[in-house]
Chain A
Amino acid sequence: MEAGIRGWGAYIPRFRISATEIATLWGYDAKLPKALGVVEKAVAEEDEDAVTMGWYAARVAIRRAGISGEDVDAVFFGTESKPYAVKPSATIVADALGVKRRKLSTDLEFACRAAGEGIRISIGLVKGGLAQNALVIGSDTAQANPGDLLDFTASSGAAAFVIGSPSKSPAVIEASVTYVTDTPDFWRRDRSPYPEHGEIFTGEPAYFHHILSAVKLLLDEAGLKPSDFDYAVFHQPNGKFPLQVARTLGIPQEKVLPGLVTPYIGNTYNASALLGLAKILEEAKPGNRILVATFGSGAGSDAFSVVVKDSIYEAVSRGPKVSDMINSRVPITYSTYAKFRGLYLRNIGG
């Protein structure tokens, strides 16, 4: 037993832009959204950013854990869209939540998997006795070059987890591994407003290789097989890749679909797989085993085996559910999306 998930929380902005509208505007084939497996994506409003969204998700996670900010010993903020290039986001959220000053606190950056690594670091801290509770936040207002394929999926959202003692947790992490290489499949250079990617290179040698390698390591080390899992959730850059990974591992689609959120809210980057995990925790039964694999370009993957405990129902009842946030939606046009995400260059004031 490594550690436990004491609480979790999510935040999904209510605004949605349809993939069809994006395809129409940029002259893409109307079949493209279906090929990508995306219907629409969540858009943060003008006054939202990774910190505000992360704060909301973290507040819910702490409430679900049945603790207060004072009980948190470490705060890790995984993002690739931090509002300040230099100035930690983790400290803003920690102070806003009343986390004590004697703590570890830092931002982590590893494309879409920094929060996954944050969970692994937290497991180590809890197991090693350096922390009773560690708060991990994955939050992004993901950027995409307008008109690029990423424009169909790069979205906004946050997920947060309190990692602590397994005995106090409604879900325990029984095993975890990380697999990392130097694979340049997606990057954003300094002062470049939008990331670039290697198209198909982001698939086979990056996403699939790293997730499959991490999952195989996990299965070997934990002595588990794919059929031992009741649910599987993988990082979700689009609606198709997670299903392809599941097929390769021999995991049936019905075990993946409950945690597949990208078709409805887009790829929330650091929150992507973790929002899927949060949703599954809200639907799972005690005794269920969940396979989780994050992915971050650059590239790496963290794989976890999570087992749900009897106290899950009570924890679920302490906060808003992911499915309700997915269903709470306000459609917007591309022009509103562009306004919200600051895609218009404006002169303000004199």
Chain B
Amino acid sequence: MGAYIVGGAVAKVDRHFDRGYRDLAYEVTKECSGCLDVDYIVVSSALPELTAHQVDLGTHIAQWLGRRVPVIRVESGETSGLAAVDLAASLVASGRGRKVLVLGVEKVTDYPTYTANYFYSLMLDYEFEVLRGVSPPAYAALAMKELMKDGVRRECFSSWAVRMHENAASIPHAMLRFKISYDSFKDSQVLAEPLTLHDSFALGDGAAAVVVSNSPDPKASSVEILFSAAEVELPAYSRERISDLNASSKLLKLSLERYGLDLRRVAVELHDSYTPYPIAILRSLGYLDSECNLSELEYLNVSGGLKARGHPIGATGIYQVYEVFKLLTDKLGGKTSPSDYGLVHSMSGPDNVSRVLILRR
């Protein structure tokens, strides 16, 4: 028995000052045909205990949606979304559920930046990293330095951000729907030398939903969840090089080889919390020359990625899945995937855990 995505919806990633977890969850399911016609709900959210003082968020959201079905909440840092889809696929494949609503929701903008950044930094090991002042942008800066030592030019990282903003400009649910120039990096605030604000993801609130079913929907477009895998990497402080994102590279390489895929033709959403990470991954896969020319990768992060579509932490993976689903079955940003396959990649922290999902129409 397989697992299929048969529908979904997303809310605009934004600073939703006037909405909480419940509002966002309700609004996105209201926009999603078939989202409530389910017999199981999996809620993906990374931070509700911290940002909303809410334990058992899944139950409270199910109550708010008026559904009496079983519900479970999944948390796996930044990869919560893909972990939730993986669980939903297992539920329908095992017969435990017929149709599962996978709902990603996150509310992070109610706090000052330093508090939100602190919550985000808890993706790292609290005792070994956070307590010692190590932060996600610090690791990203070190990764960038390593790559620059390898000969990757600064403009290469900038080109990623420029491209993501270009893509997001035509995505209605993206947070930063404007273009940026290479020049804007000169004025960008430094987060951790040489990493700047323009190299970082946009933190936003969001909600996204997909419906995972045990069979394709005869009345609507469906895609099959063909492959779902995860791998845990060594902590960044135990690695030879922080920029070696081995778990991500290994899973993506395996996916491409197993199904004979070429990233130049395949819709793929890469986790790009900080610009050095997608650059490192593409280099390891052999898709990036010294000029960092991204023009051949037409279906790469059509959404604008975490960089410009935005990163509502625990909901991001569901956004990515929905976006590839749209590229395979309809259009996103005016594009339709020429390939029948689509890839979604997510990782938490600097590759602490990596997940990859392959969809096929």
Chain A interface residues (CB < 8 Å from chain B) = 29, 31-32, 34-35, 196-201, 204-205
Contacts and interface: CB of A to CB of B under 8 A. Distances in A.
20 contacts: A29-B189, A29-B190, A31-B187, A32-B189, A34-B187, A35-B187, A35-B189, A196-B112, A197-B112, A198-B112, A199-B112, A199-B113, A200-B15, A200-B109, A201-B15, A201-B17, A204-B15, A204-B17, A205-B17, A205-B18
Interface of B: 15, 17-18, 109, 112-113, 187, 189-190
Contacts of B109: 200-201
Contacts of A199: 112-113
Taking chain A's interface residues, is the majority helix, strand, or loop, or is none over half, making it mixed? Answer: helix
Nearest to A206: B17
Contacts of A205: 17-18
B195 to A, nearest CB: 12
B15 A31 contact: no
A198 B17 CA distance: 11
8 nearest A-B pairs in the assembled complex, by CB-CB distance: A29-B189, A205-B17, A29-B190, A199-B112, A199-B113, A31-B187, A201-B17, A31-B189
A34 B17 CA distance: 27
A346 to B, nearest CB: 29
A31 B109 CA distance: 25
Contacts of B189: 29, 31-32, 35
Contacts of A200: 15, 109
Contacts of B18: 205
Among B17, B18, B113, B187, max chain A CB count under 10 A is at: B17
Contacts of A198: 112
A196 B189 CA distance: 23
A35 B187 CA distance: 9
A350 B113 CA distance: 43
B312 to A, nearest CB: 16
Given A35-B187, A197-B112, A200-B15, 8 more contacts: A29-B190, A31-B187, A34-B187, A35-B189, A199-B112, A199-B113, A200-B109, A205-B18
A18 to B, nearest CB: 19
Contacts of A32: 189
Nearest to A29: B189
Contacts of B113: 199
A247 B149 CA distance: 44
Contacts of B190: 29
B190 to A, nearest CB: 5
Nearest to B190: A29
Contacts of A35: 187, 189
A196 B112 CA distance: 10
Nearest to A203: B15
B272 to A, nearest CB: 22
A32 B191 CA distance: 12
A200 B204 CA distance: 12
A266 B109 CA distance: 27
Nearest to A200: B15
A105 to B, nearest CB: 38
A269 B98 CA distance: 60
Contacts of A29: 189-190
A145 to B, nearest CB: 11
Nearest to A199: B112
A71 to B, nearest CB: 47
A264 B17 CA distance: 32
A196 B187 CA distance: 27
A29 B187 CA distance: 10
B263 to A, nearest CB: 36
A277 to B, nearest CB: 30
A31 B189 CA distance: 7
A252 to B, nearest CB: 22
A91 to B, nearest CB: 38
B361 to A, nearest CB: 39
Nearest to B197: A29
